[in-house]
Structure 1
């Protein structure tokens, strides 16, 4: 029977005044608070003959911080907001712990900072296509929010928009977003911070910068990074403990501090030649990482870059020895060897406390490509991308007369070799060398 008097507020201004506090300005009403005790709040489109156009959030009046219109309405379960409302102020529904459903008006342009922060029971929200901006922490701590569709008109996502939304398992980032960032403090409060249910994410081609966006998304197993991204910044994928493989596109020039730190399942990562800067602790705590290739443009190896990468066995440098070496680069690493190309300079027998060795082309002696293929003897060659390798052959290892058979440039780090003449010899041996 609680609904009857509530529904009557559409016709009875005195009831409206009992349920809401509001101000009148230039022929329009702004709701500033809610005093009702019912679980359902229906906001009228007109009261006292004036349209309701705004729901006020937090504001400072004479130095006093005023709570959001529905802030801390812990018994509120559902809200229907009329289309006449075009603005909902910051923190308007903060800490409405019981709120499970809200209908947003079609004309609203932005969802302000902290609007639904701490709405623990909110399971679903339909964001109208009119929305162009979602403010910082707008849906943070909405533990029950499993998914929502962000309209393509949205061009801005603030820090921590969906932070601590543990039930969030899928979301589509709109194609107009240019940056996925959080603040750059040690907390790294990113857009999807601690979304522990998120498993896969596709970053749209409009994004150029990723910064602390997916920190502690511990269930994230796959991410697609487009060629538009130039920077993978501070703590971008920090603590993504289920992430096993990442391909970084050729557009990226910077890998920031802690970008992939504590990605405990990461076994393979491709760092493109476009990268010139890798910051502190970028791969620290990647305990499953076995090998990595460092591009020739990287001149500095910063503090703790491979800190506690306990499974690391090979770090392969494509350029000259870096001139700036930080401390604790290989702290906790006991088996890694640093490999360098024979044509590069500045290398000694030791680098940052680890032994060094020449990085030479390798013949892959196993796999489907090894052996007789279509009446030709064949195998794959692995080495650094862009390097040229010469395959030589001889028929007698006691008195070898090595002759070049084929020259290959490894544009992608590997090449396929096949010898159609092998049947012309009783036995044939092969070796690899650089020109």
Structure 2
């Protein structure tokens, strides 16, 4: 079974291991430093990391901080105290050692000295000239070394050979008073391997080269060397990857099941858990694809991270009332799980807890839950509805993403934010009421909610994240209440049913692609305080017919109105200075454009493919800079370019010379239009090119249906 990584799932940063010091017979602490002798053997205790790899390590630390000293050594390696003959000693690896990032070398040595002030410890002094490592060592005099593994980025500066540090190893004396031995004691009984604790007279089942198969019955006790040992635990990964294991019976005396215990036992169908079990470790049953049901003891209070991950045949599970916590991805990818009822004491669900439980149709959440982790129910494609407890104040990233059958959900009144992709892919969600106190919707929050037809955004809302309503193809009505709201990039992109939208007066900017491909959008009123439109803001709005830009806009970004094929009228503000690349490219219905006196830059292909363009009015007496092919595929023969009087030669010799008909704008006199019953006013502008909707006091420049342009004095 290949481990699937949940969307946005946290990476485990530290792995904890315990190095046990066990002797072959009665043990006593060293009481006299002179009892320490050369030849003391220190067996390095093996552990498995998060991914099941086998490593062996010697713990070390100094001055209460990690010394960044790390060693991987091979299975069965031993470290031996060697007498240096000068009151000091060496700890020597007989089989060679391998240094993190430092290559390999046989017979590497670590110098040590005997600390006369403490007969219980041997103090080792590390010389960093050979490189690297990292462990935290807490010696409390108990004879045990607790080792917490830090990752390899914390190794010392290899260019600083002066680095040194010290660490201690607590030694136990063997019964005969000679050598001091740290040694793991194991035995195999009826094919099952055990680690023995001579002090406690207990035994723990441990891995035996993944050879376990069939039906296994673990006894309550075993006898070794005439001593009876009580079986009390299943060790870390002891049955991991035993694909032939079908069932197992455990004695009542077992109280601990460690992490990865049954990991990837693909054919395991049933397990009887003893009543004394209180927790299940990390990935305990992960990958047990054949496990159909399991009864958890009443005493269990927690389930570890990925405990039942990818138990794809698990259809139901009775969770004891004492359970208080679930680890991340606890039931992730349990495809067959249909219903879950959680105990009242649970207050939170971890990251990806029920992610990809595609058959889950219902879940009973206890009233005390206050938080749901990221992607908690992501991919629960059969979940139709869910009641959220009142204590929940936010929904995290991807919480209900791809819940494609979810038709409705009632959000608690206390919710203030919805995280990124929170309801992304909820393709059956038709409506949702947002609480009055909500302040933000994360990026892609309702992305691909293809059945969502309308939404009312409360006044408390101050921001819509990037692609917030992306591809909500049925969204026809949006009501924005807040004057302070900001619209992120692509906010309403591909909302193909959106016909109109009223933007609050306080909006000052629209992000990139904000309304791109809103192909049904016929009109939009831009507030006067608007000062910027992002790139591709209205690209592909093929039904948009007219647009009037507020006076505060001084430039249009790239592709701003690209492919607005129905656009026939654009009113540019008098202060606009530049039009970006491809700004009106493909606006094939645009018949006329007025470029005010302030214009000084036209981007590449700015009016490319504007095949319906019949007239272009340029009021700038200084020639604007032009990108490549500004008017490419416009009708060069029939479109008339109007330029200020006295500038015709300048324009003809520039890229504006693309047009065959260039006419100087004769608007120097103040005349009344000729009386004609067929003559109609087409456009009206101020003398600096600002579009006027009605006659305005002062001098108006008026264009008539016969192409004539006159100045008109309005009193």
* TM-score range relative to shorter protein: 0.7 to 0.9
Corresponding position of 1:40: 339
Distance 1:15 1:37, change over 3 A: farther
Q: Equivalent residues in 2 for 1:63-102 (5 A)?
A: 68-102=352-386
Q: 1:227 aligns with which of 498, 505, 529?
A: 505
2:568 matched to 1:290?
yes
> Equivalents in 1 of 2:423, 2:594: separation in Å?
43
**Do the aligned residues in 2 keep the contact of 1:340 with 1:359 (CA within 8 Å)?**
no
Corresponding position of 1:162: 446
Q: Equivalent residues in 2 for 1:128-143 (5 A)?
A: 128-143=412-427
Corresponding position of 1:404: none
2:485 matched to 1:212?
no
Q: 1:415 aligns with which of 662, 685, 695?
A: 695
Determine which structure has more spread, i.e. the larger CA radius of gyration.
Answer: 2
> Equivalents in 2 of 1:99, 1:256: separation in Å?
38
Q: Tell me which of the two structures has the higher relative contact order, counting C-alpha pairs closer than 8 angstroms and 6 or more residues apart.
A: 1
Distance 1:365 1:344, change over 3 A: farther
Per-residue CA deviations over 1:341-375 (Å, capped at 9, x if unaligned) read: 5x865453674956776497998999xxx99xxxx
Per-residue CA deviations over 1:216-241 (Å, capped at 9, x if unaligned) read: 00111011111111111200000000
> Where do 5+ consecutive residues of structure 1 fail to align?
1-8, 47-51, 58-67, 183-189, 372-378, 390-409, 418-430
Q: Equivalent residues in 2 for 1:184-333 (5 A)?
A: 190-204=467-481, 205-320=483-598, 322-333=599-610
Distance 1:318 1:115, change over 3 A: same
> Equivalents in 1 of 2:508, 2:460: separation in Å?
16
Corresponding position of 2:684: 383
Count of aligned pairs: 355
**Do the aligned residues in 1 keep the contact of 2:319 with 2:343 (CA within 8 Å)?**
no
Distance 1:211 1:388, change over 3 A: closer
**Do the aligned residues in 2 keep the contact of 1:340 with 1:356 (CA within 8 Å)?**
no
Alpha-carbon shift at residue 297 of structure 1 (Å): 2.2
Corresponding position of 1:187: none
Q: Equivalent residues in 2 for 1:4-15 (5 A)?
A: none
Alpha-carbon shift at residue 415 of structure 1 (Å): 2.6
Distance 1:265 1:72, change over 3 A: same
Task: Provide the secondary structure at the position in 2 that maps to 1:246.
Answer: strand
Alpha-carbon shift at residue 21 of structure 1 (Å): 10
Corresponding position of 1:55: 349
Please report the TM-score for the alignment, with normalisation by the length of structure 1: 0.72
Please report the TM-score for the alignment, with normalisation by the length of structure 2: 0.45
> Equivalents in 2 of 1:242, 1:127: separation in Å?
30
Distance 1:114 1:36, change over 3 A: closer
Distance 1:356 1:246, change over 3 A: farther
**Do the aligned residues in 1 keep the contact of 2:335 with 2:359 (CA within 8 Å)?**
no
**Do the aligned residues in 2 keep the contact of 1:382 with 1:414 (CA within 8 Å)?**
no
> Equivalents in 1 of 2:621, 2:439: separation in Å?
45
**Do the aligned residues in 2 keep the contact of 1:19 with 1:36 (CA within 8 Å)?**
no
> Where do 5+ consecutive residues of structure 2 fail to align?
1-294, 304-316, 624-642, 644-650, 698-709
Distance 1:30 1:268, change over 3 A: same
